[in-house]
Amino acid sequence: MAIFSQLKSALKQYGFLNVLYLGSTKLAERFGYYRDNYTLFEKELISSEPVKPLASGYFFKELSPALLNNLNATWISPEQLSVFKSRLAKPGYFGLGIFKEGSSELVYYFWLNFERIEMPEYFDNCHSLKLGKDEAYLYDGFCHPDHRGKGFHGFSAQMLMNLACANGKVKTVTIIRTINKAAIASQEKVGFTPVKEIQFSGFRSRISCKIRNL
C-alpha cells in the first residue's frame, strides 16, 4: 500500500510522463550514470512582507539540535536527520518546521542558508554556482503527502525570506528540479522568477554541469 501511495503522490507532483522519466533516470543511476535538469530562481528582497496565517491545527518552530534529538517524524530517515543536524552545527543555517497540534508530529520542513548553494550529493561538487554575500539560499522543502494543500510552502518561504531580509540579504535564490512543476508553481506564486537552467550528466566520476541564462 505504501508503494501505491508514493506512486499516487509522485503522479500528482510530476505528472505521468515525468514519472516515467524519473523511472528511467533511476534505472540509469544503477549503472552509475546520472542526469538531471534544474532551474535556478531568484527573488529580490526589498523589505519584510506580511505572512499569511498558518492553517488551523498546526504550529511552527525553528528547528534546533534539541528539537531534532526528540523529533516525532517516523517518515524522516536517520540519514536525513543526520544531514539536518550537521547543517545546524554550522553558522548561517536555519530550518523551519511545521508540526501537527496534539501529536507534535513534524509534517513540513524548509531550509535557508547564507553560506553556499547545495545540490544533491552526486551533483554538489560538479557545479560552479556561488552564493553572493548579500544573497540567501532557500532549499530542501518537503511536505508529508497527508498534509499537502494547506499553504505550508508559502507560509514557510515568506517566514524564511523575512529572516533573510532581517539579516541584511537583498536577494533569495532557490533551485528546483525542472520537472517538479508543483514546486515551481509554488515558488512563482511567492514571487520567484527563473533565471538559469542547470544541466547535469555523466558517470559519477565525471559528471559535467552546463549552465545557461534564461
Q: What is the pLDDT along the chain (214 residues), one digit of tens a residue?
A: 444 555 455 555 556 666 676 677 887 788 889 999 999 999 999 999 999 999 999 999 999 999 999 999 999 999 999 999 999 999 999 999 999 999 999 999 999 999 999 998 889 988 999 999 999 999 999 999 999 999 999 999 999 999 999 999 999 999 999 989 888 998 999 999 999 999 999 998 899 999 999 9
Cell of 147: 498534509
Query: Phi and psi of 7, rounded to 5°?
Result: -65, -45
Helix (H, G, I), strand (E, B) or coil at 59: strand
Which residues span the domain enclosing 15?
1-31
Q: Is residue 202 left, alpha or beta, with left meaning phi > 0 and alpha meaning psi from -120 to 50?
A: left
Q: What is the pLDDT of residues 117-166, one digit of tens each?
A: 999 888 998 899 999 999 999 999 999 999 999 999 999 999 999 999 99
Q: What is the CATH number of the domain that holds 187?
A: 3.40.630.30
Considering the domain architecture, whether residues 22 and 36 belong to the same structural domain is answered as: no
Residue whose entry in the numeric block shows the C-alpha cell 532557490? 174
Q: How distant, in Å, are the alpha carbons of 34, 73, 190 from that of 39?
A: 17, 30, 16
b/e sequence 106-126, b meaning 16+ C-beta within 10 Å: bbbbbbbbbeebbbeeebeeb
Considering the domain architecture, whether residues 41 and 92 belong to the same structural domain is answered as: yes
Considering the domain architecture, whether residues 56 and 27 belong to the same structural domain is answered as: no
* Residue 102 · residue 179 · CB < 8 Å: no
Considering the domain architecture, whether residues 20 and 39 belong to the same structural domain is answered as: no
pTM above 0.85, yes or no: yes
Q: Report which of 162, 157, 159 is spatially closest to residue 174, judged by C-alpha positions.
A: 157
Considering the domain architecture, whether residues 96 and 139 belong to the same structural domain is answered as: yes
Considering the domain architecture, whether residues 23 and 37 belong to the same structural domain is answered as: no
Considering the domain architecture, whether residues 110 and 161 belong to the same structural domain is answered as: yes
Considering the domain architecture, whether residues 166 and 126 belong to the same structural domain is answered as: yes
Number of domains in the chain: 2
How many angstroms separate the CA atoms of 20 and 183, rounded?
18
